[in-house]
Amino acid sequence: MSFDGASNALGHGIGAVLISPEGNHYPFTARLNFFCTNNIAEYEACIMGLRAAIERNVKALEVYGDSALVIYQVRGDWEVRDSKLVKYRDLVAELIKEFEEITFNYLPLEENQSRLADALATLASMFKANREIEIMPLQMSIYEVPAHYFSIEKEPDVQPWFHDILEYIKKQRYPEQANVNDRRTIRRTAAEFILDGDILYKRGKDQVLLRCVDTVEA
């Protein structure tokens, strides 16, 4: 689990993400409609994530946060001197009892590979609402090529979508109307393709070659 809190001129928001061993992400976010400090927001985010894990019967949990104060206070490494944080630390201590195994790890934001909790907290802090709003879970897709590549419709000149790439690979030739940026894009995109005889392939990230078409004209 990773958690984060955000406080800015627009408000206060918290975010937490549960990540399963299989890599599935379960995001949670909330807006805090009461005044709080950054440290309180961080505690609120941590508690929200812990409660979400408990509701899902998680028994072993690794917790990561970029708030050194929260992580080290929860672990007992630092003393809680702010009276406003004592009840938060005590609540976390009670929630921890629900787990068979749990660890708290401090991970600076710049070293954290998963910035989703930070993004969720910032989003909640900027999203004004006076009641609870349910938004469908986020679904993130990864597009390897521009959207128009797979358009069903043909180009006006009836050329296939890969025509410019093929011309560059075969003849180092650009379209007549291509400007400097267009040419740069074609060169960069062409590096992901391989022409084997008359068959054009796209190289996947796992180095698997994906056949673009059955045949192409030489």
Beta carbons of 28 and 48 less than 8 angstroms apart: yes
Last residue of one domain, picked from the residues 126, 161, 183: 126
Nearest to 164 by CA among 176, 156, 152, 147: 176
Number of independent structural domains in the chain: 2
55 and 16 in a single domain? The answer is: yes
Tokens 């060169």 map to which residue?
187
* Same domain for 115 and 173: no
* Tens digits of residue pLDDT in 5-53: 887 777 888 888 898 888 888 888 888 888 888 899 999 999 999 999 9
Same domain, 120 and 165: no
Is residue 88 situated within a structural domain? yes
**Structural domain of 40:** 2-126
**Domain shared by 44 and 92, yes or no:** yes
Helix (H) or strand (E) holding 102: strand 101-106
**6 and 110 share one domain:** yes
Q: What is the pLDDT of residues 118-167, one digit of tens each?
A: 666 666 665 565 565 565 555 555 556 655 555 545 445 567 778 888 88
**pTM assigned to the model:** 0.60
